[in-house]
Amino acid sequence: MESLKQRISKYLIDYRRDKEEAIKDLEKKSSNFKEFKEELIKNDIVSEEELLIIFSREYKIPYLDLEKYHLPKENKELLPQDLASRYKVVPISRIGDVLTIATSNPLDIVVIDELYLATSFKRICPVLCKEEKINKFLNNLYVIKEEKEQNLKEDIFSKVSVKEQSFDESIGIETLVKESKLPPIVRIVDLIIYEGIKRRASDIHIEPTSSDVSVRYRIDGVLQHGLSLPKVNQDAVIARLKIMSSLNITEFRIPQDGRFKVKFEGKTIDFRVSSLPTNFGEKIVLRILDSSNLSYGIDKLGFSEKPLKLFEKALGSPFGIILVTGPTGSGKSTTLYSIISKFNNPQKNIITIEDPVEYQLDGVTQIQVKPEIGLTFAHCLRSVLRQSPDIIMVGEIRDAETADIAIKASLTGEFIFSTLHTNSSVGAITRLIDMGIDPFLVASSIIATTAQRLVRKLCLKCRVKDEIEDNVLERLGFKPTTPELFRPRGCPACNYTGYYGRFALLEVLLFDDIIREMIIKRASEEDIVNYARKERGFISLKEDGFDKCCQGITSLEEVLRVAG
């Protein structure tokens, strides 16, 4: 069977008889078609345009002169800039689920397949065009976004010049403050914050490296790359953020914490700021706290019906302790704040003890612990009990003293919510006993323990059916009648991650007399879980996740990543 190189060679010999020997010679010397094509053009045997016309006739692919067409700026929405630039293709038009692209290499099947997999289009149709013209139209079509970022960077390079400093050098503070207030620096910081809010980021990481300053956004729990800023303006950008956060700009040797607020689309958004010294300068992390997310209520957090009913039953208790467990970033604080919002009314005296205070709630007394002056969780809790509280939220039970005070307070009629760092709901029991709390006190005071994790939702615009062997599903605990499962693919709507948004998996261990008796007798975690599953409607995090997979809300790999 003839290769593509041989077929085009024969066609060219018929087309250019005077160059037959040269064509044959180049064909032998070239190891592949791409190299053959480049040598033909380089040796003036045929022009790129003539070669494309030959392709057009041979493979029945239309040839298009882009300069004769006007492409609307809206076309850039058909294909992301990174894909268009990587594969040197221009989106021409869309008809239904068919995307037409201009390319100088229509025979590269890999590119067509990659575009098909990375977009939501059912079919990719190529047309031919010179590479020079494709590059020109790529620059014209995507220039708006590039110019926006490039102009900001050029302004910084041309108008601001901050001398790089190491931690061992003295810094001209007056100069640094002046530089941080110049328009280019203000604009670049505003752009970083604006992009974070628009992209639904929970955190913005500004990380100095040896050559530049990298900006990354944590979206749906996963970090994604943003801007790269010039190294020369690192100190000015960081100083700007520290001034906004009321941090000490003269101190760069120790970590600092601060906060600021911005107005965005009619609502106020809090930013919690943390600075940390590193080898290449101070790293800044901005935590985005949107208090409007707390007004939805716990029934809008994505909990499944069964665990939610158990949780709401626990919330109906007049006193006791409810513990929310899970690792950092699992949504514990959001759950607690949603509970507080549910109970918040003028008839209730609600007091929170936090480190730090993440969301500021009207009508709620909030206390920031300060261990450096002796204002610890335990100290605050003792004082709060003298304030006649109806509900107390303790940000975290970190030590035996705090746990002991909370438990004894709940036995005298207080309703307390708190968090604990354990991997499961039943693990909270073992953790408290390991802290030195008597099993009788644990059994008497705890109403329920919960565990939760945040799982990414599949993008509904691009999810595809997941083919998994039955024996694998059975090993994971799925029944033979499992409905269709889905996996991520990626599209412009989800920034090619395959996921958009998050929801919570929840397991609830609701205590009853038998569970309390098992705790007093120091029964194993496995025995408690087996009883709770049989008699109390308990389902584990993984089981809750599998149920969401069967509903097509998330993928199996995501549940296994988060819940084990």
Query: In this model, does residue 131 exceed pLDDT 90?
Result: no
CA distance 418 to 434: 18
pLDDT confidence tier of residue 145, bands split at 50, 70 and 90: very low
Query: In this model, does residue 482 exceed pLDDT 80?
Result: no
CA distance 539 to 507: 6
Tell me the fold of 167-289.
Beta-Lactamase (3.30.450)
Q: Between 321 and 103, whose confidence is greater?
A: 321
Q: Between 522 and 148, whose confidence is greater?
A: 522
pLDDT confidence tier of residue 172, bands split at 50, 70 and 90: low
Q: Where in the chain is the domain with CATH 3.30.300.160?
A: 4-140
pLDDT confidence tier of residue 166, bands split at 50, 70 and 90: very low
* pLDDT (average), residues 25-36: 75
Which CATH superfamily hosts domain 4-140?
Type II secretion system, protein E, N-terminal domain (3.30.300.160)
What is the model's pLDDT at position 167?
34
Q: Where in the chain is the domain with CATH 3.30.450.90?
A: 167-289
Q: Where in the chain is the domain with CATH 3.40.50.300?
A: 293-454+503-543
CATH of domain 293-454+503-543: 3.40.50.300
How many of the other CB atoms lie within 10 Å of CB of 78?
Answer: 19
What is the model's pLDDT at position 163?
36
pLDDT, tens digit, for every residue of 308-335?
888 889 988 889 999 999 888 888 888 8
Long-range contacts of 475-480 (CB under 8 A, 24+ apart): 476/546, 476/556, 476/560, 477/542, 477/543, 477/546, 478/546, 478/550
Query: In this model, does residue 284 exceed pLDDT 90?
Result: yes
End-to-end CA distance of the chain: 51
pLDDT confidence tier of residue 338, bands split at 50, 70 and 90: confident
Query: In this model, does residue 419 exceed pLDDT 60?
Result: yes
Instruction: State the chain's mean pLDDT as an integer.
Output: 81
Q: What is the pTM of this model?
A: 0.64
Kindly give the residue spans of alpha helices, DSSP state H, lying in 78-180. 81-87, 109-118, 131-141, 143-159, 173-180
pLDDT confidence tier of residue 198, bands split at 50, 70 and 90: confident
What is the model's pLDDT at position 43?
78
* pLDDT (average), residues 396-415: 89
Query: In this model, does residue 479 exceed pLDDT 70?
Result: no
pLDDT confidence tier of residue 178, bands split at 50, 70 and 90: low
Reading the block at residue 528, the tokens are 């408690």
Q: Identify which of 432, 438, 485, 437 has the alpha carbon closest to the alpha carbon of residue 463.
A: 485
